[in-house]
Amino acid sequence: MTIKRLCGCSFSYAGGKRGDRFRVPVLAVFVLLAVLLMPPAGPAQSDLSAEDAAADILVQRLKELARPLFEDVPCFCYRVQAALQIPLEVSEPRVEGLASESLPVCLTLFRQANQEWGLALTSPWRNFAINWTASRSAIILPAAHVSFVGSGELPENADSIAPEGFINRFITHETSLNSFMALMNSASFDYAVRNLLVPQLKLLPARPERPDEILYQLSAAMRLSFTATGTPRICIEAEEGLHDVNRLKYFEISFEPAAGPSIPASWSSDPSCVETQVSRADLEKMVFRGLKRILSIKMPGFYRTLEPQKLANSELRSHYGQTLVLLSGTPEQIGNAHGLLLRPWVRLLVDSTVYLVGLVETVKKARWFINDLDDAWNRLSPHIPERYHREMEAIASACPDVSLREVRLSNVFPEYFHCSGFALFGSATADKALYHGRVLDYMTEIGLQDCAVAFVIRPDSGHAFFNPGFAGFVGAVGGMNESQISIGEMGGRGRFRWDGVPMSFMVRRALEECDTLQQMKDLWNNSLRTCEYFYVFADAKIPDALAVYATPDEMVFLGAGQDHDFLGEGIVDAVVMSAGNRLRHLRRRVQDGHGTFVASSALRLMDRPVAMRSNLHNILFVPILQDAYVAIATADGPAAEKPYVRYNLSELLSTMP
């Protein structure tokens, strides 16, 4: 059995730009880095014999590094070491001329036949290890003195991180590595190195302090080095100030054919470590699906678009490049059609919100995230209207590869929204119409843009409404109904205050049940609320809007034009909500254009920097016309940098199946 059946694990570093982490599989890392960074081919070198000899040694050393790709190597250890230049966060200014600090990162990946494998990461972000044996799996968090351990046999067909067959399960069409691995054999590897990499390299004289080293210029600011003998090891060094690969200064990967103890004994045998027993099925599924989802986001492969489709009471359409789903009927009909039309994307939502977020949050906070979600569901579910329970059950029934528990948990996962919103009307707009903007800034790093859907829903009881959301998500975080009511929310604090109606189900209730601002106020006042949220409520019939602050204990309604300590001096016929610099930019834009706004100029209010890098979607509601303009993030940029697509609720309802 070769490493193609195991080694899909990746070197991960969480520094650098948010949402732009450096993640590449350890076996492919060198070739991928080299191809990405290679300069245009230069002139041939005069000393051909030295060039040829060095190239032969390079090919040989790389093949030794990649040996488990081509033959069975049951026991091995890869070590990756890197140094990254700080500041790591883009919000921290770089001071010219000031010497920068480097932070070390080390990843060890090992396998001992089919009996054990694991990885250990030390980094400025977190130190952690994942360890698998036939009898137990563990996530070890040494700084917190905590480990999460699952023991025993897995259920049949459960997601597993067992080494046998791992690579075939882990690297699929969802990542571009699938094509790379499909072509990976000894002959193609040799050809790629000799014909794609070597011609781009410039052989340099050996450094006096390292006479046995072979040194190449890889790019204008990067050098590659290795030795002809000893442990296979390839090094890449960058000059000061390099920005090409997340401030990478040094990178080294080495391969040892025999694997010894690779998780530090101080981690695995810490007497003060608290070992928490968890479900092994949950642990392995979270590791497997979380890492697999990260790989598909950072190195995307084949993107599965959904073909237009009609059912008895529903339809999936492609709407100018965005996905539109029209649903109507009872909760069971709506949920069943939702699941049937969006089945592959429902799986994406679950993998992103439950397993990817779960893995990161578990490592970051040393809390078992799935327990937190189960607790949230147990406390929230009694307050969720029965019709939404029926809808979630119907979605799960229509998606065989997703359980009802997964659908439920993905509908109550913690909402870390950092949003902005505004409503302008009367003297603030050129035509006196109400324009309601909603900026959703939320972790594009977890890939929700891949399952973004614009819904038009006509329930058998209540108002029809437009809701830009996500496959598998029953609630709403913003929307507009046929009665010219619109709503958008901003997340605050108050996590774990879960004894009430989840925010997203409150928003959907408002869209289905409310005709006036007073009815919206009554709904919030008379409901058990959770956490801390801010909202913009708007009614274009009047027109008027409200800013709303809601916690389980407090409700504050702020009228248009009212002053507020946090939001600043009131702006006539306007409600403006955001925070920090985003609030200052939004207020200035509203003040500068006051009295002139129409749809096209109101869209510009949501441009960066009001929208963050994590800007998942932007929406402008024009309820009096029943228009909505929607922009959605893609892999190469936030929503604010993408084109807006117009939807008209009245027109869409008239064509609903």
3-class DSSP string for 278-324: CCHHHHHHHHHHHHHHHHHHHCECCCCCCCCEEECCEEEEEECCEEE
Whole-number pLDDT of residue 553? 95
Model pTM score: 0.86
Whole-number pLDDT of residue 180? 77
Residue 490 is encoded by which pair of tokens? 């901003």
DSSP-assigned states of every residue in 132-181: EESSEEEEEETTTTEEEEEESPPPTT-----STTHHHHHS-TTBTHHHHH
- The span from the CA of 505 to the CA of 495, in Å, is 17
Structural domains of the chain sorted by starting position, each given as residue range(s) with its CATH number in brackets? 26-35+55-87+100-283 (no CATH), 303-655 (3.60.60.10)
**Nearest partner of 114 among 186, 166, 189, 41, judged by Cα:** 166
Residue found by looking up tokens 């929310």 in the block: 489
Whole-number pLDDT of residue 32? 46
Longest dimension (CA), the chain: 85
Q: What does pLDDT average to in each consecutive run of 10 residues of the chain (657 residues)?
A: 33 33 40 43 54 93 85 88 62 40 86 92 92 96 97 94 90 85 79 90 92 90 90 85 55 83 84 96 98 92 86 97 98 99 97 96 96 95 98 99 97 73 98 97 88 98 97 97 96 84 97 99 97 96 97 96 91 95 96 98 97 94 99 93 98 96
**Residues whose CB falls within 8 Å of the CB of residue 479, separated by 6 or more in sequence, listed in order:** 465, 466, 467, 468, 486, 487, 507, 508, 511
- The span from the CA of 147 to the CA of 149, in Å, is 6
Asked if 16 and 246 count as a contact pair (C-beta separation under 8 A), the reply is yes
Whole-number pLDDT of residue 247? 56
The number of angstroms, rounded, from the C-alpha of 83 to the middle of its chain's C-alpha atoms is 25
The C-alpha angle 349, 350, 351, rounded to 5 degrees, equals 95
User: Phi first, then psi: what are they for 271, rounded to 5°?
Assistant: -65, -20
Q: Map 60-74 to HEC letters.
A: HHHHHHCHHHHCCCC
- The span from the CA of 449 to the CA of 389, in Å, is 25
The amino acid that residue 100 corresponds to is S
- The span from the CA of 598 to the CA of 602, in Å, is 6
Straight-line distance from the first to the last Cα atom of the chain, in angstroms, rounded to the nearest whole number:
53
- The span from the CA of 599 to the CA of 381, in Å, is 39
Strands (E), 394-460: 420-424, 435-441, 452-459
Asked if 111 and 7 count as a contact pair (C-beta separation under 8 A), the reply is yes
